[in-house]
């Protein structure tokens, strides 16, 4: 009897430049996709929202962890969502918010700003929620 495929939402909370949870999460997502499971969304919360900052430059010899997310997203189209409140407090703006606050947009392509309602929806629709 084949195993049931599961749907997952990942919630990341750690800074992508100060913590390895981003790379750990990418490895996990790759394994889940290889197993035939689906990713409903990846939600970046608290300092994890820095993953979407366009002007971020990794240190010499370090990988750019955002690129791994974009590559995984190409395998299965799932949203890469940054908490809008956390993003705004850290100066990360999409075109809409940049216009609202008369600032320059600096959200990396492939990522989107979303509210906490996305997490509530994920709790209803995903089989598993994983927080890293």
pLDDT of residue 62: 67
Q: Inform me whether the pLDDT recorded for 128 exceeds 60.
A: yes
pLDDT of residue 1: 53
Contact 10, 132 (CB under 8 A): yes
pLDDT digits (tens, 9 = 90+) for 46-68: 999 999 999 887 777 666 788 89
pLDDT of residue 2: 58
Domain boundaries, the chain: 7-131
Is 83 tagged catalytic?
Answer: yes
Mean pLDDT over 95-123 rounds to 96
pLDDT of residue 59: 73
Output the CA angle 120-67-24, nearest 5 degrees.
Answer: 60
Domain 7-131, CATH homologous superfamily name and number: DsrEFH-like (3.40.1260.10)
Q: Which of 10, 29, 72, 83 is catalytic?
A: 83
pLDDT of residue 121: 93
Contact 113, 128 (CB under 8 A): no
Average pLDDT score, the chain: 93
Kindly report the pTM of this predicted structure. 0.93
pLDDT digits (tens, 9 = 90+) for 3-42: 789 999 999 999 998 778 899 999 999 999 999 999 999 9
Alpha-helix runs per DSSP H in the chain: 21-34, 65-75, 84-89, 95-101, 117-125
Mean pLDDT over 79-88 rounds to 98
pLDDT of residue 103: 97
Smallest CA-to-CA distance from 77 within 40, 23, 106 is with: 40
């Amino acid at each position: 009897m084949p195993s049931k495929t599961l749907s997952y939402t990942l919630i990341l909370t750690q800074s992508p430049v100060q913590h390895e949870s981003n790379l750990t999460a990418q490895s996990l997502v790759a394994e889940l996709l290889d197993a035939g499971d689906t990713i409903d969304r990846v939600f970046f919360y608290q300092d994890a929202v820095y993953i979407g900052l366009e002007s971020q430059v990794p240190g010499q010899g370090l990988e750019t962890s955002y690129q791994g997310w974009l590559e995984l997203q190409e395998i299965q189209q799932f949203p890469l969502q940054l908490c809008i409140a956390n993003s705004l407090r850290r100066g990360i703006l999409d075109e809409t918010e940049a216009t609202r606050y008369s600032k320059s947009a600096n959200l990396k392509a492939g990522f989107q700003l979303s509210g906490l309602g996305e997490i509530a929806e994920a709790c209803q629709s995903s089989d598993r929620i994983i927080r890293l």
